[in-house]
């Protein structure tokens, strides 16, 4: 059935325009004493920003905050009756209990519960009695209309005048009466209650943020572990790839040695055939050479030639950097450039003078073992506190430079140079 135009909280006096607002108010404040009101909720609309205000206090606050002072009253346009059938069910239960004449109802523990007459607004009760309504009817009307107004009580009487118990005094449990008589909150208490609710909501929000932060931290740790594991797997795969590459290079080198050995054997067999000698029996064991007694020779030992010394320098450079083929090849080509420039233009001093501290020279030749020694064999000398390598014009030996160029070309072109 159609009810009033609004609901009013009996605990704090809040004015609510729908059952949904009353439910939300009950969840926030734990208030449960609501009554129907024929007074519509105030609806004042700001003409500047269209903000709705439900009380004069809200109007004053809005004006103070924004400076807007013009409002249009649309209370009657927005007002509509509230359906209270679902909310009226607890009251119907009380009516049924009163119709059955139960002055006392059994409690959960099996004991009888005391039933008493509910307290109503005395001034409104006297006014209804002065209008000619019996005390029981007026009390019942005020109680079930929520003690809201005289109009609400009269409307309730008009709707229930055919009820058989209309003139019977209503009865409610004593606890219900005590709750009904509970004094409403003062403005200070309402302010404290609202502050408590805000504090509770703030703590709940902080707890939720902490929980979310813990979840995010767990996710970061998980992602970090996955990245570390992926990096470890990638490093393992790279290590395995390098090992496989090194193994393949060794196999290739082994096959190259075997190919050279077979070529030497073929050449040897060909020479024996040309000389008319029988083929060498591979099964025949070669006689071991008798131990040669070491004798001190009084003859002078022939010193190694410059070509041999150059070859030893280049071989040492290759062996000490055997895993850096590109760097070795670049060093050989740089040395060939130095030697070739001097051989082509021996009178040009710029080709015969090299600064040892030059970064490019150090990177290409100076930092590699055997590089500077090779240039010294070619005739270069260290000058000015080992700051320069210099080849004097009168010490330029074209034949030595040609030997150096030949050794460098051989080292660059022979892939097995320094390996066998």
pTM tops 0.85, yes or no: no
CA 291 – CA 357 distance, rounded (Å):
52
Contact 41, 15 (CB under 8 A): yes
pLDDT of residue 178: 54
CA 377 – CA 135 distance, rounded (Å):
136
CA 180 – CA 147 distance, rounded (Å):
11
pLDDT of residue 86: 45
Tokens of 343: 């051989």
| Ranges of residues in the chain whose predicted pLDDT is under 50 | 1-2, 86-110, 285, 294-299, 301
pLDDT of residue 283: 60
pLDDT of residue 349: 87
pLDDT of residue 216: 94
Tokens of 339: 């030697």
pLDDT of residue 307: 87
Closest CA to 102 of 116, 88, 89: 116
Q: Which domains does the chain have, with CATH numbers?
A: 89-180 (1.10.8.10), 306-413 (1.20.58.2190)
Closest CA to 407 of 293, 262, 326, 307: 307
CA 11 – CA 180 distance, rounded (Å):
9
Strand order through the sheet with 388-390: 353-355, 388-390, 381-383
Q: Count H helices, E strands: the chain? A: 14, 12
Kindly state the greatest CA–CA separation across the chain. Answer: 160
| Helix 306-320 vs helix 325-344: crossing angle, to nearest 10 | 150
pLDDT of residue 39: 79
Tokens of 195: 């502050």
């Amino acid at each position: 059935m159609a009810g009033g135009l609004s609901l009013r909280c009996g605990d704090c006096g809040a004015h609510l325009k729908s059952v949904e607002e009353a439910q939300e108010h009950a969840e926030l404040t734990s208030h449960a004493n609501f009554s129907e009101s024929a007074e519509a909720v105030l609806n004042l609309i700001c003409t500047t920003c269209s903000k709705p205000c439900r009380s004069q206090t809200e109007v004053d606050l809005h004006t103070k905050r924004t400076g807007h002072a013009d409002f249009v009253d649309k209370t009657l346009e927005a007002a509509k009756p509230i359906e209270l059938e679902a909310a009226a069910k607890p009251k119907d239960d009380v009516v049924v209990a009163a119709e059955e004449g139960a002055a006392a109802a059994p409690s959960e523990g099996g004991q009888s519960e005391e039933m008493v007459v509910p307290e109503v607004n005395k001034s409104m009760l006297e006014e209804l009695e002065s209008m000619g309504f019996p005390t029981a009817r007026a009390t019942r009307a005020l109680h079930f209309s929520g003690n809201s107004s005289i109009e609400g009580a009269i409307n309730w009487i008009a709707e229930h005048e055919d009820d058989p118990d209309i003139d019977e005094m209503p009865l409610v449990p004593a606890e219900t009466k005590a709750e009904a008589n509970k004094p409403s909150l003062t403005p200070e208490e309402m302010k404290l209650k609202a502050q408590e609710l805000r504090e509770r909501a703030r703590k709940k929000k902080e707890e939720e943020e902490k929980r979310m932060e813990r979840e995010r931290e767990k996710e970061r740790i998980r992602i970090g572990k996955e990245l570390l594991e992926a990096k470890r797997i990638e490093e393992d795969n790279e290590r395995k790839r390098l090992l496989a590459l090194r193994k393949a290079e060794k196999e290739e080198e082994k096959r190259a040695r075997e190919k050279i050995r077979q070529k030497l054997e073929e050449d040897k067999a060909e020479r024996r055939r040309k000389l008319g000698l029988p083929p060498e029996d591979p099964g025949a064991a070669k006689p071991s050479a008798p131990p040669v007694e070491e004798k001190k020779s009084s003859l002078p030992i022939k010193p190694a030639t410059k070509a041999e010394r150059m070859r030893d320098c280049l071989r040492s450079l290759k062996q000490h950097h055997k895993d850096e083929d590109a760097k070795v090849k670049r060093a050989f080509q740089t040395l060939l450039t130095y030697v070739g420039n001097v051989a082509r233009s021996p009178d040009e001093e710029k080709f015969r003078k090299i600064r040892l501290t030059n970064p490019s020279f150090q990177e290409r030749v100076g930092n590699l073992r055997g590089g500077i020694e090779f240039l010294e064999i070619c005739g270069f000398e260290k000058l000015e506190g080992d700051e320069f390598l210099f080849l004097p014009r009168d010490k330029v030996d074209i034949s030595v430079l040609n030997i150096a160029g030949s050794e460098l070309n051989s080292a660059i072109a022979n892939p097995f140079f320094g390996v066998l």
